[in-house]
Amino acid sequence: MKASFSDKMFYTFNYTMLTLIGLSCLLPLLHIVSLSFSESHAIHSGFVSIWPVGWELESYRVLFDNTRVIPALWNSVQITVVGTVLSMIATTLTAYPLSRNYFYGRRVFTLAMVFTMMFGSGLIPHYLVMKQYGLIDSYWVLWLPSLINTYNVLVMRTFFDNIPEEIDEAGRMDGCGEWTHLIRIVLPLSMPVIATLTLFNAVGYWNSFMNVLIYINDTEKYNLMVMIQQMIKKDSVLSEVMALQPGDIADVTGEGIKAAGIMVVVIPMLIIYPFLQRYFVKGVMLGSVKG
């Protein structure tokens, strides 16, 4: 069907706006990448835009050799991996029974969970509760309160609800119990929602900032996000690094080190996303039920 003039105008406007929005997100990232790989004199002179000038890795070398970025990176990996695994297990085990029609009281439990989305305890009561349980200065203070996200549970429960009943009945006829049915039938069919929620949880834990800043007092347990934020906040970052290794980092700038730190924060999520992207668009249910 041939597109009308109004359709062409709409498509042109739509593509133009999407392109501008995409560039507004991409250009700042390209600028940070360029700063992290550029020579110090180019950064000082303001010649760096979206393409590196000089192409060198001194900023990264100084960042990894003279700051606590590696311990902070390890802390972030611990927080993200353990938190994501625990959250996905808890979310799955909560959503599955709520999706079963024969689960007694599932409507009551669902309404109780939705109620928690409308009201919050506030920062100070939450802090006092965490302190009362002895979770301050422990990563459990990050994991336990975020173990179950009501929105994620509702999304997964809805996906489980959409699995055709014929599949459930076929599994029951083959003698599947609840655990076997969940692990061998439901979860393989639910990879799109599992991948999506895994990415949401991983990004949330990786970007943990306020909770770490409030509940973690030991600087040795700071994650990468807090460490990089403090580095960016301090204008004296280069002088502090030079005090540790004087004369060895004359060819770097504070802006270059900060940019390198930002890239260390961003790169892991950019690496993980392509591996999960295919599940977002994969029609895993297509053809699973044949008439």
Contact 53, 256 (CB under 8 A): no
From 33, 56, 79, the end of a domain falls on: 56
Q: What are the Cα distances from residue 213, in Å, to 143, 221, 235? A: 15, 10, 20
> Whole-angstrom Cα distance, residue 284 to residue 288?
8
Q: Are residues 224 and 257 in the same domain?
A: yes
Low-confidence ranges of the chain (pLDDT < 70): 1, 234-251, 279-291
- Residue 164: its pLDDT value, please? 80
Q: What are the Cα distances from residue 288, in Å, to 116, 163, 166, 168, 189? A: 36, 10, 10, 12, 9
- Residue 83: its pLDDT value, please? 94
- Residue 287: its pLDDT value, please? 37
- Residue 184: its pLDDT value, please? 85
The total number of residues shown for the chain amounts to: 291
Q: Are residues 35 and 137 in the same domain?
A: no
Termini Cα distance of the chain: 32
- How is residue 133 annotated by DSSP? T
Q: How many domains does the chain have?
A: 2
The CB density around residue 169, as the number of other CB atoms within 10 Å, is 10
Q: Are residues 34 and 80 in the same domain?
A: no
Q: Are residues 134 and 150 in the same domain?
A: yes
Domain span including residue 147:
62-291
